[in-house]
């Protein structure tokens, strides 16, 4: 039985197969409409989410399966003090696969050790968010037709943004990737990513503060929200929250074929006037999130179509 804790749980070849499957699902949805009939997905969300939970549920429903779960830990037995290990042992009797989001780093991993069903990490604190990374990679591969030879600007809250941490981990396996890390001093990438991931693997990267200085060099711009819920005090958040605002003026400095991605939810970091720019693909990205989660469910449940 396989779980998904980190994007590195799949080899590059396995990811290629997963993305081919996701593209086939996109092209032939009817072929997959009954693939998971009789199967159940449990969504155990101990932290708020719109896209991730609903896209998992939509994915399972599109495959003909059913869903159950909770979206607020106060509505679950966690509020009575139940451990994730106990919860997952019980859920294993009710469902065939589960997606878990938890504010504590490593909680889905702890659950997977006691689970009788595949566990998917749907975001653990500031640590990882592998299914968002699968979504990001599928979006890039489908729209840019490659995952190598890219200069990628990651902009915003690089300290607490788990999507960025997972994406860096996943992309360093492809040749000729260059990262430009764009953040205020206080929200720089954690040193464990700089040292253990980037430097250790000789991945070229640059750290800058001003987006306007580098936007013309980028193939991709990955914008992120300042992660309010991970700040220790509100004042720091208020000071940081509008540090970057991608607007029409900045988009004029960007290459014509640069793509703008964002895991969403967006707050102020991308002005709504950018939404109609053909380079803005963040809503398409959300759609790819459903296809890739369908492909993931099929793969972990070993369902052949």
* Active-site annotation holds for 51: yes
H helices present in the chain, as ranges:
12-27, 51-62, 84-94, 107-114, 130-144, 162-171, 191-192, 234-240, 248-252, 282-300
53 binds ligand NCD (CB under 6 A): no
Among 40, 159, 225, 293, interactor with ligand NCD by CB under 6 A: 225
* Active-site annotation holds for 80: yes
Q: Hey, how many other C-beta atoms are within 10 angstroms of the C-beta on 206?
A: 13
Instruction: Give the Cα separation of 106 and 109 in Å (integer).
Output: 5
* Active-site annotation holds for 114: no
51 binds ligand NCD (CB under 6 A): yes
Residues of span 70-109 touching ligand NCD by CB under 6 A: none
Please give the biggest Cα pair distance in the chain: 55
Considering only the stretches 111-119, 145-153, 184-192, 259-267, report the one whose residues sit in contact with ligand NCD under the rule CB under 6 A. Answer: 259-267
Catalytic residue among 40, 53, 101, 293: 101
Tell me the C-alpha to C-alpha distance, in Å, between residue 46 and each of 153, 162, 250.
31, 16, 37
Residue showing tokens 């260059």: 178
Q: Shortest distance, CB of residue 18 to ligand NCD, whole angstroms?
A: 18
* Active-site annotation holds for 145: no
Catalytic residue among 129, 159, 165, 225: 129
Among 264, 270, 280, 294, interactor with ligand NCD by CB under 6 A: 264
Q: How many chain residues bind ligand NCD (CB under 6 A)? A: 11
115 vs 131, which CB is nearer to ligand NCD? 131
Considering only the stretches 18-26, 27-35, 143-151, 262-270, report the one whose residues sit in contact with ligand NCD under the rule CB under 6 A. Answer: 262-270
Task: Say if CB 157 and CB 226 are below 8 A apart.
Answer: yes
Q: Nearest to residue 194, comparing CAs of 182, 176, 207, 209? A: 207
* Active-site annotation holds for 266: no
Using DSSP, state whether 280 is helix, strand or coil.
Answer: strand
The residues binding ligand NCD (CB under 6 A) are: 51-52, 123, 129, 132, 162-163, 225, 263-265
């Amino acid at each position: 039985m396989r779980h998904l804790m980190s994007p590195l749980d799949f080899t590059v070849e396995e990811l290629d197969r997963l993305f081919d499957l996701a593209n086939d699902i996109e092209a032939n949805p009817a072929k997959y409409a009954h693939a998971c009939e009789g199967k159940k997905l449990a969504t155990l969300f101990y932290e708020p989410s719109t896209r991730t939970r609903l896209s998992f549920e939509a994915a399972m429903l599109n495959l003909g399966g059913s869903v159950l779960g909770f979206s607020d830990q106060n509505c679950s037995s966690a509020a009575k003090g139940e451990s994730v290990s106990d919860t997952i042992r019980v859920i294993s009797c009710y469902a065939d696969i589960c997606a878990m989001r938890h504010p504590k780093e490593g909680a889905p991993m702890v659950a997977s050790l006691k689970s009788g069903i595949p566990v998917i990490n749907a975001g653990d604190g500031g640590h990882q968010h592998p299914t968002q990374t699968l979504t990001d990679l599928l979006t890039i591969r489908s729209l840019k037709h490659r995952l190598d030879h890219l200069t990628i600007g990651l902009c915003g809250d690089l300290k607490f943004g788990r999507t960025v941490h997972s994406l860096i981990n996943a992309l360093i396996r492809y040749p000729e990737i260059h990262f430009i890390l764009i953040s205020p001093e206080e929200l720089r990438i954690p040193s464990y990513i700089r040292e253990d991931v980037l430097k250790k693997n000789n991945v070229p990267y640059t750290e800058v503060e001003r987006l306007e200085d580098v936007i013309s060099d980028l193939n991709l711009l990955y914008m992120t929200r300042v992660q309010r819920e991970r700040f220790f005090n509100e004042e720091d958040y208020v000071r940081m929250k509008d540090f970057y605002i991608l607007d029409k003026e900045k988009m004029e400095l960007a290459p014509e074929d640069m793509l703008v991605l964002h895991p969403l939810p967006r707050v102020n970091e991308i002005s709504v006037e950018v939404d109609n720019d053909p380079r803005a693909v963040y809503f398409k990205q959300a759609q790819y999130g459903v296809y890739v989660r369908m492909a993931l469910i099929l793969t972990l449940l070993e369902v052949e179509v």
